[in-house]
Structure 1
């Protein structure tokens, strides 16, 4: 059986997408699916390539048990569109950027589409805000990550066996 590959994408790959990467990876581990689902993150812009996630993202994530310290920012590549089954944009701008260059449109989604119980359609960029923004982003990502995992399990019933 092939793995289901999931990629989270934001602009610089230092705040939102690494947070989603860490949250979803922990969720996958919690469900004992690490051998069946792989997780990654990338950015649509090369502003921070090679850098660790933003210190504020890391600090807020740690308060809820997510360790983002081993991640490094990278730019999305053409190969990612073939390698990943789910490519999840954090906001409309990044969704648009991905949709423009993706040869496989049915793999590109908005992360918040998997959180219909939330009013927000985008995960806002907390970079220029305070700690409260990072906490809000983390909460949104936790809810959407559970919805995404539920969707993946429903779409791939062989994963839960």
Structure 2
């Protein structure tokens, strides 16, 4: 039995869980609340690497998210764990490396749950969410553009019952 009493759970995954995945976590959570889905959708995030356990999201990620109305301040980095594959209905990775690492960790019976976040984009046409960590402000804005688009597409599919 799933530990959550809600119908759908999404895990966002990047490398260190301080830039892209907490941004996606915060954006999806915010958009779900705006649609009144906060009681039917659980959102979480994790990293493929244990670089920053317990750390808040990168200050730049928080600042750019805040400028668009998203609060990431209560999120904390953690590494993906075995229980995540059972617990979550959908595991969305940010790039090809995270996809390969997550699939390698994932038990075969749960591999269908692992997908790229950008598969849900409605407008943007990029295969991955690029890592903004070593870049400038434009990188964090691009992450937000892609994440917002993908979260809109994802929520449309969830609301429409197209994801099981």
Match of 1:76 among 55, 75, 80: 80
Distance in 2 of aligned mates of 1:130 and 1:140: 16
Match of 2:125 among 119, 123, 147: 119
Return the TM-score normalized by structure 1: 0.94
Give the Å deviation of 1:130. Answer: 0.4
2:1 is the alignment partner of 1:4: no
- Of 60-69 and 146-155, deviating more is 146-155
Matches within 5 A, 1:2-151: 2-103=6-107, 104-151=110-157
Q: For 1:18-43, what per-residue CA distance to the aligned partner results, in whole angstroms no more than 9, with x for missing partners? A: 00000000011001011100100000
Aligned-pair Cα RMSD in Å: 1.3
Distance in 1 of aligned mates of 2:161 and 2:112: 14
CA contact (8 A) 2:122 2:152 kept: no
Return the TM-score normalized by structure 2: 0.92
| Partner SS state of residue 155, structure 1 | coil
Distance in 1 of aligned mates of 2:122 and 2:96: 16
Question: Which portions of structure 1, spanning 4 or more consecutive aligned residues, are displaced by more than 4 angstroms?
Answer: none
Give the Å deviation of 1:155. Answer: 2.5
